[in-house]
Structure 1
Amino acid sequence: MTATSGQSSAGTLQTVDRALSILLSFTGARTDWGVMELARELDLDKSTAQRLLATLAKRGFLHADPTTRRYHLGPALWRIASTWERRGGMAQLVEPFLAWLAVESRRTAVFAVADGAYVRCVAAVDGGAGPMRNHPLVGELYPAHAGATAKAYFATLDAATRQALMYTIPLAKFSDLTSDDATAIEAQMIEVAERGWAYSEGEYDKNTRAVAAPVFMLGRPVGSVSIGEHKRENLGDIRDHVAATLRTAERIGALLSSRAVPPADDDARRPETGTS
């Protein structure tokens, strides 16, 4: 195809691709754009940038501030995101990856996302040994200071951000193994960050143990993947499945970042295991 047809050599429509590039240019660090700024950022001429922005604003995907004439994300994106979330869009995306991990480890596999001072389970798949607990896990909140599922995520944050989030709630003790000592918890976070994965036994639920790895989207931590088991199970050391857990976290991160997803069975160097 030629450029005049409006279609790129890869078979994508150039105008649609440019419009989507505009939407993707908005980030937590960049919440608004002026016409000239955006034109320079995306290497567009001013008139093209103006027409694209005006069209997106007309459809509600952007909102133009009448005073500053700068563009912000619009309500149409909220409507789409709400529909996607209500229909379990994230769970549908990640469940195939969790299913592989659940089969590989024979444990319950969980994907949890950041939610203030917690991580929240949005998808879970039981392994061959059956459910880790007798109640549904989806929707459950895991506090930052207790358990591998939360620590794998919170350990990736810088200390100031982590502490600002963690200490907005009391450091509750869920079992005799839950630490409520801020200094000890911070030392554990540093250890988890250096190692790249977390292990816990009885910190959040006295009857379970877990291994977890952080998930990154475009280089930013967004949650964790974990496997868990009830202590009554005799399936071998759960830490034998650290490599598979890390691999699944990497694959989900690639999916969320719109990158090519590596195969599940690609050989990975098995990390050294230890207790935390």
Structure 2
Amino acid sequence: MSTIAKALQLLDLFSDSQPQMGLSDAQRLTGRDKATVHRHLSALEEAGFLEQDASTRAYRLGPALTRLAGMRARTVPEVEMVRTVVDTLSRTAGELVHVSRLQGFDLVDVYHAEQHDHPVRVSFDAYGLPPLFATSSGKAYLAYSPGGVLDLALADPRTWLPGAEAPDKGALLTELKSIARRGYARNRDALRLGVSSVAIPVFDAAARATATCSIAYPTSRGGNAAETRLARLLMSHGCDITEAMGGAVPPDVQSIWTPSRERAAS
């Protein structure tokens, strides 16, 4: 990993639960030597990506990020392209729907919608970075990625459940093959007790998995019947979501997502 990448990686340490941190905190979380971390923090501060509280000496996200985020929102219409499809899907499902893009092995929110009136909802942190192997989105991505991606993901402890050991590769391979045959990934009470989800991959223009779309719902809302209904609904919108993001669904995946009666009529 380049020096620039290592410095920018420090920005991912900040969250709603940890909006500020000192040099020692950053050193502990990264496992790098203190001199290197200090050099990276100083460089980020100089560029405006971080700022330092004069009284506590703690670092927090800087104004340059606000400017860049605003520029991206104005110049990259990704959210606007996918908004209509996701809003419609959420209204039909009656649940939380979210599209995430893979940034390294982090699932970064692109857009999410809750177009329903259920009093019991799934809480969603748009700025949180859930571990890849604990989510249906992460598994959906891995199931449609080249084999070497799984080894790289397993080697990064940030993709594991907090406090857990590395996932078993053999069991994962079996699960990922099932996902590829089925057309969607599923999770039940894995990341959070009482929350289930189904997810599909979203493909880029070269038909490579690059993002995911997931429906999350309270486990109490239903068992296998709810999963089947929501998975079918999600897959029926899979081509629309990929096309809205400028991509193309591989023919074999499209065949799985298309109900047999529709294939027979075409």
Task: Specify the TM-score bucket, using the shorter chain as the normaliser.
Answer: 0.5 to 0.7
- The 1:162/1:82 distance shift into structure 2, 3 A limit, reads farther
| CA RMSD between the two structures | 3.3
- 2:129 corresponds in structure 1 to 141
Secondary structure of residue in 2 paired with 1:141 = coil
Deviations 1:221-242 (Å, cap 9, x if unpaired)?
Answer: 1111110112233595132122
Task: Report the Cα distance in structure 2 between the residues aligned to 1:207 and 1:126, rounded to whole angstroms.
Answer: 18
Task: Report the Cα distance in structure 1 between the residues aligned to 2:119 and 2:158, rounded to whole angstroms.
Answer: 33
Say yes or no: does 1:225 pair with 2:176: no
Q: Matches of residues 22-101 of structure 1 in structure 2 within 5 Å?
A: 83-85=71-73, 89-101=77-89
Aligned mate of 2:231, from 242, 250, 269 = 242
- The 1:171/1:141 distance shift into structure 2, 3 A limit, reads closer
Structure 2 runs not aligned, ≥5 long: 1-66, 249-256, 262-266
- The 1:132/1:182 distance shift into structure 2, 3 A limit, reads farther
- The 1:180/1:165 distance shift into structure 2, 3 A limit, reads closer
Say yes or no: does 1:188 pair with 2:175: yes
Deviations 1:119-149 (Å, cap 9, x if unpaired)?
Answer: 2222111142257433x43233232211212
Secondary structure of residue in 1 paired with 2:237 = helix
Q: Which amino acid aligns with 2:111?
A: A
> 1:154 Cα shift?
1.5
- 2:244 corresponds in structure 1 to 255
Q: Which amino acid aligns with 2:71?
A: T
- 2:111 corresponds in structure 1 to 123
Q: Which amino acid aligns with 2:178?
A: E
- The 1:110/1:171 distance shift into structure 2, 3 A limit, reads closer
- 2:202 corresponds in structure 1 to 215
Aligned mate of 1:202, from 189, 195, 213 = 189
Task: Report the Cα distance in structure 2 between the residues aligned to 1:87 and 1:193, rounded to whole angstroms.
Answer: 34
163-172 vs 185-194, greater mean Cα deviation: 163-172
Overall identity of the aligned pairs, in %: 16
- The 1:133/1:242 distance shift into structure 2, 3 A limit, reads closer
Secondary structure of residue in 2 paired with 1:162 = helix
Secondary structure of residue in 2 paired with 1:145 = helix
Secondary structure of residue in 2 paired with 1:149 = helix
Secondary structure of residue in 2 paired with 1:142 = coil
> 1:100 Cα shift?
1.0
Task: Report the Cα distance in structure 1 between the residues aligned to 2:177 and 2:76, rounded to whole angstroms.
Answer: 34
Displaced runs of 4+ in structure 1, greater than 6 A? 79-82
Aligned pair count reads 184
> 1:215 Cα shift?
0.7
Q: Which structure is higher in helix share?
A: 2
Aligned mate of 2:95, from 94, 107, 127 = 107
Please give the TM-score of this superposition, normalised by the length of structure 2.
Answer: 0.59
Higher radius of gyration, 1 or 2 = 1
141-150 vs 199-208, greater mean Cα deviation: 141-150
Kept in 2: contact 1:149–1:198 (CA 8 A)? yes
